[in-house]
Structure formats: C-alpha cells, structure tokens
Structure 1
Amino acid sequence: MTISIGNDHAGTDYKFAIVEFLKSKGITVINHGTNDDNSVDYADFVHPVAHDVENGTSTYGILICGSANGVAMTANKHQKIRAGLCWNKEIVELIRGHNNANVLCIPARFTAIPQAIQMVETFLNTEFEGGRHKKRIDKIPLSC
C-alpha cells in the first residue's frame, strides 16, 4: 500500500508523526507536504496528492491543514477524489464505510496528534460497505 500525504505549515508536526506511524506499518509514503512551519499555500500540496490517488500511484491520500476545509475543498475538485474532513474516528468510519472516501483530511488546529494517528489507523482499517451506499456513490458525477 502507498499513501500520499500533503500538509501546509499548520500540519507539519502531524505529518511527521503520521509518516512515522505509516512506515512502522510497512506502508510506503509519498510526501508532498512542506517540512517546516513557514507559511505556504495548501493547494500547492493538495494537487499532487489528489493526482497520485486519481492515477493509482497511491492507494489513499492524507491531507492536513489548520481547519482541513481548504484541503478538502481543493481535493474534491479533482475527479475520482472523495475527500472527507474528519475530527474523530467515528466520522472516519462513516466516510470510509458509507462514502468510500479515498482522501482523509485532518484539521490540525482541532485535533491532537494521537487522535490524528488513531483516525489514520481507522481510515486504513475500515472497508467500504457497498450495498445501498454504492448506489449513492454512483450518483456522484465525475464532472457536471
């Protein structure tokens, strides 16, 4: 499994902790995020992650910024991306199980690092339920 990760300056510490966690599980990580806390534009890091997921270079994407709203909005502009903003593991279970999300968006200013790692673990271990949820996912157009 390969995960692409992107972050802005608000998510750097989170990114490092998540990357360490993923690597401890034997998961390959592609880092598209910034590595320091100097102000950057989140979109510059979102697009490469979304492209990796769209073209199959990565199985999933993880995006981190202050509120996670900006990264989620940007990622969801891409075809084949279903990015979900989560602040606890219960929401993560829903975006994977019901919405078949392929990108997890984490709000660094509203979660703690251990909580973010728990969300990543939940994201990776939750399967899409299919059934009635697949019918709904199929109604999301690739373009309008």
Structure 2
Amino acid sequence: MKISIASDHAGFEFNKKLKDYLESQGHEVQSFGCEGLDSCDYPDFGIPAAKTVSTGEADRAILVCNNGIGMSMLANKLDGILAALVYSEETARMTRQHHGSNVLCLGAAQFSEDELLAFIKAWMETEFEGGRHGRRIGKVQDLDA
C-alpha cells in the first residue's frame, strides 16, 4: 500500500519511527516532513501529504501534530478525503470499518509511541465494511460535488 505521512515539529520524533514501522510492514512510504524540532506550520506538511490521497497518488495518509486536530481539519477540506482523529484502538478500527477513513490523524503529545503504533496497526488492518455504512459515507462524499 502507498502511504503518505507528515508531521509538524510536535510529531517529528514519532514520524521517523512511523516511517520505519510502515516500511517494515511492506508499505511504500512517502514522507512530507517536517525536518526537525523547530516550530513550523502543520498545513505546510499536512496539505501536500493529504493531497496525494485526494489525487489517488497514495492509498492512505497518516498526519501527526501535537493533538491531531489541526491536521484533521485541513485534510477534511480536500475532495475525497475522509480524515479521522482517533484516541483509541477501537476508534481507529471503527473509523475504517464504519467510515472508510483514508487519512488518520494523531496527537503525538497525547499518547505514548506504543499507543500511537497500536492505533495505526488497528487502522491499517481494518477494512471498510460497506453496506449501510457505504450508503452513509456516500451522502458525506456527495458534499464534495
């Protein structure tokens, strides 16, 4: 699977581990930064990563900032994006199973690295259920038109 990742300075350290983890699972990863711990603007990195999903260049994206809120807000502004901010393994599973999310947003300052990796693993391993959920998501996606 092709996965784009991005972070701001708050997620920089975790983003390095995230890239290694995803590659160890056999995924092709494109990182959009950031490149250090100096304060930076999350949209500068999150928008290009999310756009790869919107345009079909990537299958999914994972965006990391201090609390995940800004990244989820920016990603959901793009056509075709269903971004979700998660706070547990269960919400990570549900956002895929019931909502078909294609962008995962995480708060690096809110959880341990082990917790974040568990959320990612749950999200990556869960398929969209479709059915009644597909009908509902279709109504959401109609807003892109």
Q: TM-score range by the shorter chain?
A: over 0.9
Between stretches 117-126 and 62-71, larger displacement belongs to: 117-126
CA contact under 8 A between 2:80 and 2:144: conserved in structure 1? Answer: no
Measured after TM superposition, the shift of residue 18 of structure 1 is 0.9
Between stretches 69-78 and 26-35, larger displacement belongs to: 26-35
Q: Which amino acid aligns with 2:69?
A: N
Q: Which amino acid aligns with 2:88?
A: N
CA distance in 1, matches of 2:144, 2:18: 32
Measured after TM superposition, the shift of residue 143 of structure 1 is 2.8
CA contact under 8 A between 1:96 and 1:128: conserved in structure 2? Answer: yes
Q: What residue ranges of structure 2 are gaps of 5+ in the alignment?
A: none
Task: Tell me the percent identity.
Answer: 37
Q: Which amino acid aligns with 1:43?
A: P
Measured after TM superposition, the shift of residue 36 of structure 1 is 1.0
Between stretches 113-122 and 58-67, larger displacement belongs to: 113-122
Matches within 5 A, 1:1-144: 1-140=1-140, 141-143=142-144
TM-score (norm 2): 0.96
CA distance in 1, matches of 2:132, 2:22: 31
CA distance in 2, matches of 1:143, 1:59: 18
Superposition CA RMSD, Å: 1.0
Q: What residue ranges of structure 1 are gaps of 5+ in the alignment?
A: none
Q: Which amino acid aligns with 1:10?
A: A
Q: Deviations over 1:91-127 (max 9, x none)?
A: 0011000110000000111111111111111111000
**After the TM superposition, which parts of structure 1 deviate over 6 Å for at least 4 consecutive aligned residues?**
none
CA distance in 1, matches of 2:121, 2:131: 24
CA distance in 2, matches of 1:105, 1:89: 13
TM-score (norm 1): 0.96
Measured after TM superposition, the shift of residue 41 of structure 1 is 0.4
